[in-house]
Amino acid sequence: MDSCSRWQVPSRPRIGKELQELGILRDASLYVENGRVKAAGSYREISPLVAQDAQVIDAGGQVVLPGFVDAHTHLIFGGDRIGDFEKRIAGRTYQEIAAAGGGITSTLVQTRSASEADLLEKGAAMPNGFCAEAQQPSKRSQATA
């Protein structure tokens, strides 16, 4: 990346207490070209790099979380893993969480104990939850900082 060096971030995935450091940037922009982040900075810094006919996605008032990606998901499962995520953010390891009854074993138990009707209802609602906040790309003339 060309323009990200001014932000202090670890050169590895954050762990333990570092997960509590959100690093919120106001009026931030990303410049992506051919699927690669080329620059990051304020809107004022990035906007001169963007061609007039470029596709611009206005995420004003939204949160953009690069790298906060789960490699997979299962459409239908019982319960949730929110408690596990909170423990990870607090610095607990996955092994500690699993030893305390959390993790995949907890999800498996909750899935097996849920009724088929409950699982089907949750599965039917899931795609709408994933897509509810999606925004359509806009042209530069419609974008706002």
List pLDDT tens digits, range 124-138: 887 665 554 444 444
What mean pLDDT, rounded, does the chain reach? 77
* Tokens standing for residue 95: 């092994």
The per-residue pLDDT for range 78-120, each reduced to its tens digit, is 888 889 988 988 889 989 999 999 998 899 999 999 999 998 8
Q: Residue 9's pLDDT is what?
A: 63
Q: Characterize 70-97 residue by residue with b for buried, 16 or more Cβ atoms within 10 angstroms of its Cβ, and e for exposed.
A: eeeeeeebbeebeebeebbeeebeeeeb
Buried b (16+ CB within 10 A) or exposed e, 19-31: eeeeeeeeebbbb
Q: What is the pLDDT of residue 111?
A: 93
Q: What is the pTM of this model?
A: 0.42
pLDDT above 90 covers what percent of the chain?
19
Contact 38, 31 (CB under 8 A): yes
Per-residue pLDDT, 69? 59
Q: What is the pLDDT of residue 141?
A: 35
Alpha-carbon distance 37 to 17, whole Å? Answer: 27
Question: What per-residue confidence (pLDDT) applies to 128?
Answer: 66
Decide which of 73 and 68 is more confident.
73
Contact (Cβ atoms closer than 8 angstroms) between residue 37 and residue 31: yes
Question: What pLDDT is attached to residue 144?
Answer: 40
